[in-house]
Chains A and B, each alone.
Chain A
Amino acid sequence: MATVKNWQIQREMKYPYEEARPKRQFSAVFDTNKCIACQTCTMACKHTWTSGRGQEYMFWNNVETKPYGFYPLGWDVKILSLLGVNHWAGETYQGKTVFEAAPAGQATQGYLPEDMDWAHPNIGEDEPAGTVEKGDFFDLPHKIWAFYLPRLCNHCTYPACLAACPRKAIYKRQEDGIVLVDQSQCRGYRECMRACPYKKVLYNGVTRVSEKCIGCFPLIEQGYQTQCVTTCIGRIRLNGWISPPAKADPEKPIDFLVHIKQLAMPLYPQTGVEPNIYYIPPVHVPLTYLHQMFGPKVDKAVELYKHIKDDEQLLGCLTLFGSTNRWVEKFRVEAGRAYGYDAKGVEIVNVPLREPSHIRPFFDAAQQAYRHNTP
């Protein structure tokens, strides 16, 4: 066991291998406030990567309604239960990570889902916590609430799947931090499935080996964002590189959102794997539930999001979501426009923070006619 640094829980922790951060780390930010669970990302991923035999039940990317949606059934309830009470002192996690809570002889604390747990991928859709009573109305946070959680492999800095593999068949790429299962090395022991707290490694019963999200690396290598990101009709997603906090660069959009503004949070940071998909928390959900899911910094993020219209830099950065299929290395906001640049510093996109609008006058003097806008 090595001792490594995990900035998300603000302390050192035990991990089977030495700290070896990649040159660049694949990442994304998802704005949960804008997700409507249309499942376009899910289907885009499905049709791109998992249309083969043995992959029928697989959704490398899925969107589940929280709190009653799960894929697989009960996954986060079970992981949280296995970790016990997740105690934080300020921003430092005092509880046990999946590595520290591991039973003797195992690399991590986890569980192997049963086949039937994967059966109903859209269970709980739109189902709120609480029951509608007569006279109910909405306030913030909502008394009756639900939100949509888009999920895929977190391409973790300290992958539990990699830690647990007895054949060292799982590796993390130096060039982009993408975590892959070597299909020729894997023998389908499913130790990775047991270990992954997010249950994002899946077993293929036909090839008899495990597989997972590959971060659309053939696209990444060409300077494009992933399928699930570019097909998102709600424009809730943005890919980018994430740096450790000490090297945060305010010109990199993901660094800006995660480190500088601290608007986007990791999913269940208490697992200790340092997941690299970040979420802007839903503003209408009770904070106790959000603490449990995104950690103790969520309060400030919720407040910041409510006033986002007053922050031109932040608004500009969010406007770049869904504005290009290219990988945005750096961005800049100036005079009401947001600009995105590729790795060579060449401008690849520029968008207005506010869409131009024009209201046609009721009376058209040129034609001497009244113009009705019939709704």
Chain B
Amino acid sequence: MQSKHPREKDGLRFLCITPKYRHGAHTTPVDLDVMATYFGPFGDIYRRDKRTPWTGESYVDINPGDAKSLSIEDGDYVWIDADPQDRPYRGAKPDDPDYKVARLMCRARYYTGTPRGVLRMWFNMYQATHGTVKAHETRPDKLAKNPETQYQAIFRYGGHQSTTRAWLRPTLMTDSLVRKDVFGQQIGQGFAADVHCPVGAPKESYVKIAKAEDGGMDAHGLWRPARLGYRPTYENEEMKKYLEGGFIAVDQ
């Protein structure tokens, strides 16, 4: 490529995509604790690591080569930031109380199927709110659940939409377009958020990613499965042999 992204000098160099999750639409993948446990590799129904916002948590997939170049280990918590001009919101300042509610933090998973320069995170998830952040920081069990509304977040901080934004194109005809209402068979006209804004739909953003905390229990060292050698690039000798089919010898 001849051109460079103007934000590259600020460390933004990853395309972050948020496609639909493979196990369901809307919030079905995370509506029950048992399903949240099955949500990706970090689920634990007993929440042994109290940092985990729920019985499972959101994560970002990263190519192991990219992660290693940034000293991010498999299972580490990371911060993901997009263009500071307007993300996570316009005029955000780090000492602002809203900032940490809106800024995205999640675990990183080494995913060898991810091309270099790309990050992948699922959408369809309950993002952090002021209530869940307060609960996460004050409850003894650190559960990210708003005690007043019972709203349960699957992020400690921020969410999959912290880095994205919607641009309304002129061709969307927000003043005059005749279109169906969101529910039912009524016909309406003009702007309707769920029609015109790609809210929640897969979106891309340009981001930087940086390590926040160790993935190991209570922020100490490597995440256990990586430490024990059962994760990509951390394979122990037995695991390497297993991957090659090395435990068998067949004489035909």
Contact = CB atoms under 8 A, between A and B. Distances in A.
Contacts of B241: 81
Nearest to B42: A120
Contacts of A77: 230, 238-239, 242
A6 interface: no
A302 to B, nearest CB: 14
Interface residues of B, number: 43
Interface string A74-85: 101110110101
Given A88-B251, A123-B41, A291-B248, A78 B22 contact: no
B43 interface: yes
B63 to A, nearest CB: 7
Contact of B251 (A67, A90, A132): A90
Contact of A88 (B44, B225, B228, B250): B250
B251 to A, nearest CB: 5
Contacts of B93: none
Interface string A98-124: 000000000000000000100111111
B40 A125 contact: yes
A53 to B, nearest CB: 12
Contacts of B225: 73, 120, 123
Interface string B191-229: 000000000000000000000000000000000110010
Interface stretch (A9-17, A39-47, A245-253): A39-47
A67 B242 contact: yes
Given A77-B238, A123-B41, A46 B34 contact: yes
A134 B41 CA distance: 26
Contacts, number: 126
A204 B46 CA distance: 14
A316 B22 CA distance: 30
Interface in A37-69: 38-39, 42-43, 46, 56-57, 67-68
Interface string B223-247: 0110010111000001101111111
A76 B242 contact: yes
B243 A126 contact: no
A122 B59 CA distance: 13
Interface of B: 22-23, 34-35, 37-46, 48, 63-65, 111-115, 224-225, 228, 230-232, 238-239, 241-252
Given A76-B242, A90-B251, A292-B248, 7 more contacts: A67-B243, A73-B230, A87-B251, A122-B43, A288-B246, A291-B245, A292-B247
